[in-house]
A and B are shown apart, each in its own frame.
Chain A
Amino acid sequence: MGSRSDIAPPPRARPERGLRLWIVPIGLKQALPWTEALAAQLRSVFGGEVIVAPAPFGLEASFDPQRGQYNALELLERLLALPGSQRLLGIVEVDLFIPMLTYVFGQAQLNGRGAILSSYRLDNTIYGLARDDRLRAARIAKEAIHELGHALGLVHCRDPDCVMHSSLYVEEIDLKSAALCACCRRRLREVPTE
């Protein structure tokens, strides 16, 4: 049985005017084939306007040669420095870390303007498994909703089926749905409209 996100779009979290969100691919030579699909999925969850807008900066400054990874906090800082009032979701295909931790799937500014997520560890080939684009897209969508949920003020949820449930391994991402539970949806409705 596939994850719930593969079967039907989850119910809208916010019936109001919704987000003004930019999906911002960073350090990518060409547009990613899955970003438009992701934009559509985020529109179905949060409503409002979601567009793809490549970043005006690259990844180089965030690279840590000692670790061979990219600093998620530095990237997030540069992302949030972009002008405007829209929410921002940075997308990278490289491995991210934050000081103290070996890796992160993404990093959000709680109750803030945006978040960043990496597709690197969401890809089966990293673990020596067969490529599965459909599964990877589902994982990216769940993580994008999860990180944006943080930016909108949601913390980790105890409901293991809720997309806001904390996932530390890809297997845990696969286990949860792409939808917000009733409790998180209720909390999200308390967020002021854009």
Chain B
Amino acid sequence: MPNSQPRILIVDDEAAVRDSLRRWFELDGYAIEVADSGAAALRRMQEVSFDVALIDLRMPGMDGVALQQRMHEVTPDTAVIIVTAFGTIQSAVEVLKHGAFDYLTKPVDPDELSRMVRRALELRELRAQNNRLRRAVDHRGGAVIVGETPAMRTLRAQVAEAASADVPVLICGETGTGKHLVATVLHTAGPRRYFSFVPLACGVSEGELGDDELLGQEGGSLPPTTLPRMGKLQLAEGGTLFLDEVARLGPQTQRALLELLRRGSFTPLGSTRPRATDFRLISASSVALAPLVQANRFSADLYYRVAVLTLTCPPLRERRADIPALARHLLERLSSPGGAPFTGFTPPALERLVGYDWPRNVRELANAIERALVVGRPPLIGAEDLLLGPVSAPPAAPLRETTTTTETTTTETTTTETTTDLSLAAVEQQHIAAVLERCQGDRRRAAALLGIAPALLDEKLALLKPHAAPG
């Protein structure tokens, strides 16, 4: 049981029931609050976090099942016990199916009620401990694929299979969909997990990677002033080499990589002695590789070597059902230990999150939540705390790999934009435009939201591209 006073919410339209339960549980030292309707309960839950909620199944307006579902969205950690005078197996199955902790039929034996609440509190404490441990693991570099849509479950199964298969994998998906995270999970769940995971961003600049970056360089024929340097291949020895945005490799690097994969060895710069290599190759691309192969812009041989298995991360807008769970996961992950104690989202905020198209996918969602943690007021993030940009057009080159499409929910942080102007000025312009749109052109409010003086905003607006400033 938690050390602090556990909080219980009693929701029943009958005053006598509310009063008797309140008195009963107060004697156990619990902090009790009551609500006479589902709407009142939801209002209170947006202000205070409860450990357990006892909800009457039959109430006018929002019934117990509907309230339980809404509660599950707002504060999923609250253990819900449904109480009813009309107990049937069917209604029990219904509420348990929607995530209720348990179900009681009136009148209840005192010991049954007390023990059930105690069990619910113990479960909640266990979950909290589990979350704390998971966060600790996350902070040590652990990776979690979040989401319960059927495609997500399929993806997890595919990742598990692919991880142990130890063959090259190509991960496709729009930018921000979590390709880097899937690569990390493939590595950490596979037999090479005790060796290095070495990411190599091929998309940093168009064209060729420096040979020394991939192959490394040794003494020998190198000028005496050149220091030996380990290449990514040496760093990845025994582990995993992750080629991010592999489509951006230049022809020369593609040939070198193909040669390396064929021979299973490489020769560091300045050396004459080939070295055998042993690494797993995982690649990622935010553009479809098949059309590039057809256009002779990507080596067909290399394509078939890097894409022995292919996983596809769909855009967030195609799996909206995962957004609430993913948002909560990100909230937990992004909350700083000493920061404001946010426990979840208000229903309007969740509606906004689910309704938005997320052109930059999970990364954009993470950014929106990170900002809301700064501007919002605990315990819940509200719709007004979410600054969502205007929905942009879908990427110019939609992915159409002829492979099984799966879903990912990720917290990827290091992939590189390939189709968007990422200069600081461009990002600032987009952000200012989005804030202005949100404030319906009110520059004073926009300046306040941006945290700058109105005069400075005017200066920045003068520099905006004509199409970026809303009228």
Measured in the bound complex, the distance between the Cα atoms of B27 and A107 in whole Å is 10
Q: Which listed segment binds A: B11-19, B92-100, B302-310, B411-419?
A: B11-19
Query: Does B354 reach chain A (CB closer than 8 Å)?
Result: no
Chain B residues, CB < 8 A from A110: 23, 26-27
Residue pair B17, A99 in contact (C-beta under 8 Å): yes
Chain B residues, CB < 8 A from A150: 27
Measured in the bound complex, the distance between the Cα atoms of B19 and A27 in whole Å is 25
Q: Which of the listed residues A100, A107, A150 has the most CB atoms from chain B within 10 Å of its own CB?
A: A100
Residue pair A73, B16 in contact (C-beta under 8 Å): yes
Residue pair B110, A101 in contact (C-beta under 8 Å): yes
Residue pair B111, A98 in contact (C-beta under 8 Å): no
Measured in the bound complex, the distance between the Cα atoms of B382 and A122 in whole Å is 53
* CB-CB nearest in chain B for A74: B16
Measured in the bound complex, the distance between the Cα atoms of B113 and A108 in whole Å is 18
Residue pair A99, B20 in contact (C-beta under 8 Å): yes
Measured in the bound complex, the distance between the Cα atoms of B24 and A136 in whole Å is 24
Residue pair A73, B23 in contact (C-beta under 8 Å): yes
Q: Which listed segment binds A: B101-109, B178-186, B371-379?
A: B101-109
Give the Cβ gap from B375 to chain A, nearest Cβ, in Å.
Answer: 40
Query: Does A62 reach chain B (CB closer than 8 Å)?
Result: no
Query: Does B404 reach chain A (CB closer than 8 Å)?
Result: no
Q: How many A-B residue pairs have CB under 8 A?
A: 58
Chain B residues, CB < 8 A from A102: 107-110
Residue pair A101, B107 in contact (C-beta under 8 Å): yes
Question: 1/0 per position for B24-53, CB-CB distance to A under 8 A?
Answer: 101111000000000000000000000000
Chain A residues, CB < 8 A from B129: none
Chain A residues, CB < 8 A from B114: 166, 168
Query: Does A70 reach chain B (CB closer than 8 Å)?
Result: no
Query: Does B21 reach chain A (CB closer than 8 Å)?
Result: yes
Chain B residues, CB < 8 A from A108: 27
Chain A residues, CB < 8 A from B16: 73, 99
A48-78 residues at the B interface, CB under 8 angstroms: 67, 73
Give the Cβ gap from A192 to chain B, nearest Cβ, in Å.
Answer: 20
Residue pair B20, A100 in contact (C-beta under 8 Å): yes
Question: 1/0 per position for A98-122, CB-CB distance to B under 8 A?
Answer: 1111111001111000000000000
Known A-B contacts A73-B16, A73-B23, A166-B114; A100 and B29 likewise in contact (beta carbons under 8 Å): no
Measured in the bound complex, the distance between the Cα atoms of B16 and A100 in whole Å is 9
Residue pair B24, A98 in contact (C-beta under 8 Å): yes
Chain A residues, CB < 8 A from B27: 108, 110, 150, 155-156, 166
Give the Cβ gap from B15 to chain A, nearest Cβ, in Å.
Answer: 9
Query: Does B369 reach chain A (CB closer than 8 Å)?
Result: no
Known A-B contacts A73-B16, A169-B111; A101 and B24 likewise in contact (beta carbons under 8 Å): yes
Residue pair B23, A155 in contact (C-beta under 8 Å): no
Chain A residues, CB < 8 A from B24: 98, 100-101
Residue pair A156, B109 in contact (C-beta under 8 Å): no
Measured in the bound complex, the distance between the Cα atoms of B107 and A166 in whole Å is 20
Known A-B contacts A103-B110, A168-B110, A169-B111; A98 and B20 likewise in contact (beta carbons under 8 Å): yes
Give the Cβ gap from A191 to chain B, nearest Cβ, in Å.
Answer: 16
Chain A residues, CB < 8 A from B111: 168-169
Measured in the bound complex, the distance between the Cα atoms of B108 and A104 in whole Å is 11
Query: Does B83 reach chain A (CB closer than 8 Å)?
Result: yes
Chain A residues, CB < 8 A from B107: 67, 97, 99-102
Measured in the bound complex, the distance between the Cα atoms of B224 and A45 in whole Å is 94
Chain B residues, CB < 8 A from A166: 27-28, 114
* CB-CB nearest in chain B for A155: B29
Residue pair A156, B28 in contact (C-beta under 8 Å): yes
A144-160 residues at the B interface, CB under 8 angstroms: 150, 155-156
Measured in the bound complex, the distance between the Cα atoms of B85 and A67 in whole Å is 14
Q: Which of the listed residues B20, B83, B109, B113 has the most CB atoms from chain A within 10 Å of its own CB?
A: B20
Residue pair A100, B109 in contact (C-beta under 8 Å): no
Measured in the bound complex, the distance between the Cα atoms of B16 and A35 in whole Å is 31
Residue pair A156, B106 in contact (C-beta under 8 Å): no
Partner of B21, one of A67, A97, A100, A156: A100
Chain B residues, CB < 8 A from A67: 107
Give the Cβ gap from B211 to chain A, nearest Cβ, in Å.
Answer: 70
Question: 1/0 per position for B108-126, CB-CB distance to A under 8 A?
Answer: 1111011000000000000
Measured in the bound complex, the distance between the Cα atoms of B106 and A5 in whole Å is 36
A20-46 residues at the B interface, CB under 8 angstroms: none
Partner of A73, one of B19, B109, B110, B113: B19
Measured in the bound complex, the distance between the Cα atoms of B113 and A98 in whole Å is 13
Chain A residues, CB < 8 A from B83: 100
Measured in the bound complex, the distance between the Cα atoms of B394 and A190 in whole Å is 68
Measured in the bound complex, the distance between the Cα atoms of B105 and A102 in whole Å is 11
Q: Which of the listed residues A98, A104, A156 has the most CB atoms from chain B within 10 Å of its own CB?
A: A98
Chain A residues, CB < 8 A from B28: 155-156, 166
Chain A residues, CB < 8 A from B26: 110, 155
Give the Cβ gap from A103 to chain B, nearest Cβ, in Å.
Answer: 7
Residue pair A100, B17 in contact (C-beta under 8 Å): yes
Give the Cβ gap from A19 to chain B, nearest Cβ, in Å.
Answer: 19
Measured in the bound complex, the distance between the Cα atoms of B106 and A150 in whole Å is 25
Question: 1/0 per position for B197-220, CB-CB distance to A under 8 A?
Answer: 000000000000000000000000
Measured in the bound complex, the distance between the Cα atoms of B19 and A166 in whole Å is 20
Chain B residues, CB < 8 A from A156: 27-29
Since A99-B17, A150-B27, A155-B28 are in contact, a sample of 17 more A-B pairs with Cβ atoms closer than 8 Å, ordered by chain A residue number, is A67-B107, A97-B107, A98-B20, A98-B24, A99-B14, A100-B21, A100-B83, A100-B106, A101-B108, A101-B109, A101-B110, A101-B113, A102-B110, A110-B27, A156-B28, A156-B29, A166-B114
Question: Which 10 A-B pairs give the minimum distances between C-beta atoms?
Answer: A155-B29, A168-B111, A98-B20, A99-B16, A99-B20, A102-B107, A99-B17, A110-B26, A156-B28, A168-B110
Query: Interface on B for A, CB 8 Å cutoff?
Result: 14, 16-17, 19-21, 23-24, 26-29, 83, 106-111, 113-114
18 interchain pairs, CB-CB under 8 A: A73-B19, A97-B107, A98-B24, A99-B20, A99-B107, A100-B106, A101-B110, A101-B113, A108-B27, A110-B23, A155-B26, A155-B27, A156-B28, A156-B29, A166-B27, A166-B28, A168-B109, A168-B110
